[in-house]
A and B are shown apart, each in its own frame.
Chain A
């Protein structure tokens, strides 16, 4: 397998890997490092990539594990890093200020969820994976995923309603 073939292979899910990493690690730079790490690992395994029937799911699982490891080692080092650089790189100048403000709220709320729920929200609501694909990535059964997802969505709703009616009630 040469470089071009490999690039072709990873292109469809490269950004998904990046977004999942960003969901968990928050900072863009760290997410890019994680993406690179995962891709290089895949590249090193390139000779037996054919033995996996779903490379995308493998990549997503690797990303998930890598990011959780990163978080764990950071916490073990007693370093709590709070990132506030929620800059989105796409120019969205036409967005109303109020609008982007409430989108930031959603981001904050999701970031406060437990990691497992963040992963599920990212995979389902952002990347729109089917449940059987998510099951492969996170190694859970579909029912458990549905239950957890419902819990996460309700939590987001709850926090949103609290923010939305803040100062009114």
Chain B
């Protein structure tokens, strides 16, 4: 390559008037081993430009396409939670229902009927208590014979 030509292009380069092709020519010239001595000072400039162009980004670019899926997922999750809570209350209410019904057993609207029923219930209770007392009566026999033997 003629030195004249390179010097010429270099001059144009510093005036900002070179084309891309001419700039490529300069880069090639300065990356070759035989650069004229008085032009060696420009070598690092063009060397640097070529070197920098080798740099590459090492990073992956995260593109979010799953945004909508996440929204659907949260909707599904909340539906499951609501269903769970709903079922829990539904089931526990069902269990509680008989207990309430039992406590309401024996309610009478008519007072006389209520009195009769109460007396009947109390009589039943006292009958059972009397049965209990009868079965303990014979303990008195022991008491009497003990008193006969051990006279105080």
Contacts and interface: CB of A to CB of B under 8 A. Distances in A.
B44 interface: yes
Interface string B53-64: 111111101111
A160 B45 contact: yes
B128 interface: no
Contacts of B48: 103, 106-107, 110
B55 A90 contact: yes
A32 interface: yes
Contacts of A3: 63, 65
A39 B61 CA distance: 7
B66 to A, nearest CB: 11
B88 interface: no
Interface string A127-169: 1101000000000000001111110011011001100100000
Nearest to A156: B45
A105 B44 contact: yes
Contacts of B57: 14-15, 17-18, 31-32, 35
Contacts of B55: 15, 18-19, 22, 88-90
B70 interface: no
Nearest to B61: A39
A32 B58 contact: yes
B116 interface: no
Nearest to A164: B41
B90 interface: no
B51 interface: yes
Interface in A33-74: 35-36, 39-40, 43
A160 B42 contact: yes
B14 A153 contact: yes
B43 to A, nearest CB: 8
Contact of B53 (A6, A36, A127, A154): A127
B53 to A, nearest CB: 5
Contacts of B42: 157, 160
Interface of A: 2-3, 6-7, 10, 14-15, 17-19, 22, 31-32, 35-36, 39-40, 43, 88-90, 92, 99, 102-103, 105-107, 110, 124-128, 130, 145-150, 153-154, 156-157, 160-161, 164
- Closest 10 pairs between A and B when the two form their complex, measured CB to CB: A150-B16, A18-B57, A106-B48, A102-B44, A146-B16, A149-B16, A164-B41, A32-B59, A39-B61, A103-B48
